Structures are given as C-alpha cells and as structure tokens.
Structure 1
Amino acid sequence: MTGPSHDTAPPALPAAPTTPAPPTARNVPALLLALRRTEFTGSVTVSSTPGGTIHLEQGLVSAVETPGAPTAETLLLKSRRVGEQEWASAETAASTGRPADAPPARGGDLGTALVAQGTISAAELEAVCVAAAFDGAFALALSPPGSWETAEAAPPARIALRPGIEPERLFEETARRTALLTRLWGPPGELARIRIRPATRPESGAPRIPVRHREILAAATGRRTARDLAFTLGRGVFAVLVDIVRMDARHLLHREPAHPAPPAPSVAPRIPTNEPPPASTGPLPRRVRSGPGARGPGSPSGPSGPGHLPARPERAAAPDGPPNTHRAEHTARTETTEQSEKSTP
C-alpha cells in the first residue's frame, strides 16, 4: 500500500484582477495628460489651499469641484436658474428605480433629470457645466498644488459634463485667464484675497452702473472676497474678479487693509510677579588700596554692602629664608640709598 504522493502541485488559483498603478507625473497637468492617454475614469484629489477634486470620464474632465469656486449645482441654484422645488423633483426622478444598496451611477443623472422635466435646456446645462469646470480649474491654479491622489472608486459628480473637456483645453483656458488678470491688475492670487466694500464717494459723473456691478456693490460688506461674492451671487470667481478690477478703475470700490498676522508667542522666561525685580546694575565699584590704614569691609567706617570689593590682602613674606635675613637686606639697601643722596651735589 502506498501513501499519497506529495509531488502533485495544488491547482493554481485564478489571478486576482489588478488595478494599473497611476502614472507618475511631476505636476497635475502632466498627470491629467497621462490619464487621458490611458482613458482613466475616476477622480484626482488635489491637496492644496483650498484643494479640490477633478472628475474624469475616459480621460476627459467631466467636473471640477473645489471649495474655491461654485460648482454647477451652486450656479444653478444661487442664480435661480433652477428653483428648489424643481431641484428636489429632479433628485427624486434621478434616484427612482435604483436599488438602495446599488452604488451611485456615474455622474450626469441629475442633469439628465433636469433636462427631462423641462427645467433647463440641454444647451444651457452644458454651458453651465463648462463654465463651472473652467472656473474650478482656475481656482485650483490660484495657489500652488500640494500632493495628489487618484481613485477609481471615488463618488461621481452629481452633475457631469458629457462628453468632458480635453485636459489641454482646460490648461489653455486657465493660462489665458491668469495672464489677463495679471496684465490688468497683478497676481490673481493676491487679488482673490482682497476684501472690498463700496466706496464712500463714487466717481462723479460716472455713467450708469451695470446690473452685475450693482449686485457686487450690494453684496460687498468689507468682509467678503471675490470667492465669497461668487458663492453669494451664483457667479464664477473669474467673472467677479474681472468686474472688481473694472470697478476699482472707476473708484467704485474700497479695498479693506489686510489683517496683520498675530505676533508669535514669546519664548523668553517669565519673571514671577510675586518676586521683586532684580537690582539694576550700577557702575563698577571703586577699588580700595590695600595697606595698614586701609578700610576693609569689616571695619566700622569702611564700606560694607553689595557692590564694593573687599580690601586687597597684604603681600605675604617671601617663603625663602628666615625673617631676620630679609629685614637685614632691606636695612642695607636703605643705608646705601641715603649715602648716595648725601654725596649728590
């Protein structure tokens, strides 16, 4: 009877599907171009200030969502192109017939529902989605990006542009807007951080103020930036910045000074309040000559207290030889000196 053979290999398991690693790139534009070549569908999350998410379908940009600019949903609701009741009806229609545990479909269902119920035309919805994507990309470019991360299972955009925008077209439009504002005013990033309020005395004899400028004047409270005004009015950040530059040239606005940064906390050691401050250092003490009549710190009339040096002690006798020998040498030198002084004419 023979035992089971151990040379037979177990049957190979089917290989698990692998997700291709995202391409390496030196910046976000290079990454989007690489994802376009691979027809990537998912999202790219950019970590910066304020950061945001770029949605891609087959490598095309379908939406750009960032806290720095209004999305297509915000533009439709804040501008009152779509009412709240119509929006709620479209949300219900977009979710009807989908199982509760099913993952959300790729973006665009809500926009399709809005068009199907006649709330907005397909051409107008496409124009709003394109404007929101361009404005979101411009808002991302106002600050240097940090890191980024790609994800295929990211939640889709609620309103997506189909077909999407080529990444190259997105870069060209962002560069054009940045160059325009730089030529008209200066760095767009600094302009976007300015808080404005209406001028006290507008330019005398100015022509009629356009409606969009009057809306900015009504919403400018001195605490709002261009980004705040864009969300309040339902407009793009770039369009608001262009209007601010033109209104500033007509002296219709007043720029609020930037708030100074809070001072850094002190790292110096603190002196307890219950202890007296240290005594101030005065001039150096005068040196007291030593001698038989010198007054030291122990004498009744001598200086005693802080700031006075003690009297210098007398020089000790030479350790070599007995004391009598040292005294005889001193007497001989004294007699020799007296004789030389007497012999001098």
Structure 2
Amino acid sequence: MTPLKSGTQFSFDLLAGALTGRDAARATGTLHVLGNPGGRIHLRDGGVICVESPGSPGPDALLLRTGRLSESEWTAALTTGTRGTIGETELHVVAMMATHDAAFTVVAGEVEDCVFTPQTLDTAVAMSVAIDPVRLLQETSRRITSLLALPCSLSPHRDRVAPVPGADLHDLAPVREEILAHATGRRTTRDIAFAAGRSVYPVTIEACRMVTDGLMTVVAGTSVIATAAQPLVPLRPRKPPTRRPPTQMPPTQMPPAENPLPEPPEGDDGDDVPLPRSLRRQLLPKLFKQPERKKL
C-alpha cells in the first residue's frame, strides 16, 4: 500500500500555513492549492465558505445520489438559482459535507504550493455560514489521523482495490456491497466514491476495514509497499539539497515519530477533535492558545 505518512504532514503544513497566514486572514478571495489533486478554498472575510477539489464529489453529486434533487432541477438551479424542494439548512449541511471531504482529499494527496488571490470565483453551492479555518484544519487532521491509525491505510488516489476471490460476501452491509460493486480492480477509493456518489473519506475508511477483514485486496503493481515505518518527511524539498564535502559525514536519517497513532473508534461520528499534539506543537501553538505540556 502507498505510505501516506511520507507526504501527509508536508501537505497539511503547507495548507495550514497558507490558510491561517497573513494573506488569508480576514480576507475575501480564493486560495488555490496546487498539487494532485489540488483544489480551491473560497474565503469570505477570513472564513471558509467552500472547498472544491477535482478529487472529491461536490454537493451536486451528493444531492443527486440521495434523490433529493433531479438532474433537471440541478440544471435549473445553475441557471435560475432555484433549488426545488431543497431547504437552506439542508443545502448548507450538504455543502459542509462536501467542503470537509474536499479538504481531506487535498491533504491526502500531494500539495505543492498554495497561492492566494483576492479574486472571488463563482461556486455552485457555498455554505450559508462560513466556518473558521482552524475548525476546518482540526476536522481535516482528525480524518487524516483516523486513516493513518488503521492497520491498512489506503491512499485514496493511488491504491486500486478488488474483491478477494472466494471471500464470504454474504450478509454484508449496504455500504460494503456498494463498494464491492464498484471495486473492479481498476478503481481507487476516490474513483469508487465518484461512482457511488459518496464522499471520499467514508468510502476510504470502509475500504481500509474491508481489506483488513479479507474482503478486498490491493491490486499488485498499483502502489508502493511500505516495508517499515517511515518518518514524516516532505514529498519535495523546498530548496535543492546542497553538496557536502567528501570528508563530511552524511546526515543521519530522522528517527520515527514518537507517540504512535491510536486505533480510531469503530464508529466515526465526525465530531471535531483537537489537532494531534505533534502537529499542534509544530504548527499552530498561537492559534490554539494552549500552553505546551512540560515533558516529565
């Protein structure tokens, strides 16, 4: 399976630094996240009103899947602004679901750079009430932490999955049946989410558990096998490495991160939790305004 730890912290740090930096503070505009899959974060007076990414289904896909909105109604919504029987509160909830999922998808991929522009771009569905960037980062961190804590952590963008031949597929939950129906061996969990009209995060988490339970397997040749625990290092260095004199000893490798991640609970209720201590200590001590605990 593709090791997520090698680049996830670097992606999170870049996004968090840009989203809470001077340019985005109390600003209205768009934060362009460059990378794979990348995305756009729409800001209004410093608050997040929408996150879009080509790597996750948008509010339209989620609404069409539930049957609350037909394709003709969605087409009319884009042209006239009407949304049929969808209420403002329900639309806000769906937009928030898509926003959190897009942020997770962006960080689970590769973030190369973030560029803020004061230009405001149109969005099909935006949240009626903006959310604080730190709250968005907290939820994104919680989801990444839960994924990394699973025995089998799939990359939603790289690992392709397929059913295990001969596995007992009787009496499965509807979600698992739907995932298996779309797991052709040529699709990642991101692809399955698009095909099923579901969010990427819950599909990825459930697929990880299905691999652990022996119902699905990662297709050989579609991912890199992690042979040992790897430290959190950036995907790409910000500066090219400098050449060292032949007589100088090479730098030692970073030791594995302390405090291994705990196993996430079986039921993921989506509640916000604080950032992991390691990320909070390195990234956002001033924003969280929590004093560091002294080491015993």
Bigger Cα displacement from structure 2, 161-170 vs 245-254: 245-254
| Change in CA separation of 1:90 and 1:53 when aligned onto 2, cut-off 3 Å | same
Do the aligned residues in 2 keep the contact of 1:75 with 1:128 (CA within 8 Å)?
A: yes
Percent identity, please: 33
Cα offset, 1:36, TM superposition:
8.4
For 1:197, the equivalent position in structure 2 comes to 162
Give TM-score, length-normalised by structure 1.
0.57
**Structure number with bigger Rg:** 1
Task: Indicate whether 1:252 and 2:232 are aligned.
Answer: no
**Which of residues 23, 38, 45 in structure 2 aligns to 1:51?**
38
Give me the whole-angstrom Cα distance separating, in 2, the residues matched to 1:259 and 1:240.
19
Post-superposition Cα deviations, 1:291-319, rounded to whole Å, max 9, x if no partner, equal: xxxxxxxxxxxxxxxxxxxxxxxxxxxxx
Kept in 1, the 8 Å contact 2:160–2:222? The answer is no
Match of 2:106 among 127, 136, 140: 140
Partner of 1:81: 68
The CA distance in 1 between the partners of 2:47 and 2:118, in whole Å, is: 14
1:193 Cα deviation after fit: 1.7
**In structure 1, what is the Cα distance between the partners aligned to 2:203 and 2:65?**
15
1:68 is matched with 55
Give the paired residue count.
212
RMSD over equivalenced CA pairs, Å: 2.3
CA distances 1:65-89 after superposition (whole Å, capped 9, x unpaired): 1111111122222443311111122
C-alpha distance 207-200 of structure 1, shift in aligned 2 (>3 A): closer
5+ unaligned residues in a row in structure 1: which ranges?
Answer: 1-25, 95-112, 262-345
Tell me the secondary structure at the aligned position of residue 150 of structure 1.
strand
Q: CA deviation at 1:35?
A: 5.5
Q: What letter corresponds to residue 214 of structure 1 in structure 2?
A: E
1:238 shift after superposition: 0.6
Name the structure 1 match of 2:183: 220
2:64 and 2:23 map into 1 onto residues whose CA distance is 31
Change (3 A) 1:43 1:128: same
Aligned to 1:169: 135
DSSP-derived class of the 1:132 partner: helix
Change (3 A) 1:78 1:207: closer
Q: What letter matches 2:167 in structure 1?
A: P
Superposition TM-score, scaled by structure 2 size: 0.66
Where do residues 1-345 of structure 1 align in structure 2 (5 Å cutoff)?
27-34=14-21, 38-94=25-81, 113-114=82-83, 117-118=84-85, 120-185=86-151, 187=153, 189=155, 192-203=157-168, 208-259=171-222
| Aligned partners of 1:192 and 1:241 also within 8 Å | no
CA, structure 1 residues 38+242, in 2 after alignment: closer, same or farther (shift >3 Å)? closer
